[in-house]
């Protein structure tokens, strides 16, 4: 089922598609940075518990590892939440495309960038 006011990313103007690709790279880059920074620190904070879980995994052990390391649990929860949101957004765009309002916003932003920041626009 294709929504009538939604457009596939490859069907928009080249300038809007260029800006959309930049936003897409930015979203995935932020996700990777979050995993390397917060996810890495969270796993490092749980290194003893992770070692025990790798040796003998139980769901109860996972529960207590997260229960007694609340900061690490929140960091991993944030990373998992952001990953889920990113995957859902990418899936929605792959299936239905972008809404017409979003296309218009991308067109407007690309025109503004080309006018006010031409060197930045060339680097995108």
User: Cβ of 3: how many Cβ atoms within 10 Å?
Assistant: 11
Number of structural domains the chain divides into? 1
Q: Is 120 within 8 Å of 19 (Cβ atoms)?
A: no
Beta bridge mates, 6: 99
Residue 1 lies in a domain: no
Backbone angles phi, psi at 5, to 5 degrees: -95, 10
Residue 27 lies in a domain: yes
Beta bridge mates, 98: 7
* pLDDT tens, position by position, 67-76: 999 999 999 9
Residue 31 lies in a domain: yes
Domain that holds residue 105: 7-123
User: What does the pLDDT read at residue 48?
Assistant: 93
pTM of full prediction above 0.85: no
* pLDDT tens, position by position, 12-56: 888 888 899 999 999 999 999 999 999 999 999 999 999 999 999
Residue 68 lies in a domain: yes
Kindly state the tokens that stand for 87: 């995957």
Separation CA 57–CA 78 (nearest Å): 23
The average confidence (pLDDT) of the chain is: 89
Residue 2 lies in a domain: no
Residue 22 lies in a domain: yes
Separation CA 103–CA 100 (nearest Å): 5
At residue 4 the predicted structure's pLDDT band, cuts being 50, 70 and 90, is: low
Residue 118 lies in a domain: yes
Backbone angles phi, psi at 3, to 5 degrees: -75, 145
User: What does the pLDDT read at residue 9?
Assistant: 66
Residue 81 lies in a domain: yes
Over residues 95-116, mean pLDDT: 88
């Amino acid at each position: 089922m294709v929504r009538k006011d939604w457009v596939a990313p490859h069907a928009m103007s080249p300038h809007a598609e260029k800006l959309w690709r930049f936003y897409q790279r930015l979203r995935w880059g932020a996700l990777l940075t979050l995993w390397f920074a917060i996810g890495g620190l969270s796993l490092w904070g749980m290194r003893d518990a992770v070692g025990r879980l790798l040796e003998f995994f139980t769901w109860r052990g996972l529960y207590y590892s997260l229960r007694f390391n609340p900061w690490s649990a929140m960091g991993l929860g944030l990373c998992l939440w952001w990953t889920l949101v990113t995957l859902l957004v990418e899936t929605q765009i792959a299936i239905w495309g972008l809404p017409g309002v979003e296309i218009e916003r991308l067109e407007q932003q690309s025109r503004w960038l080309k006018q006010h920041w031409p060197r930045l626009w060339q680097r995108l």
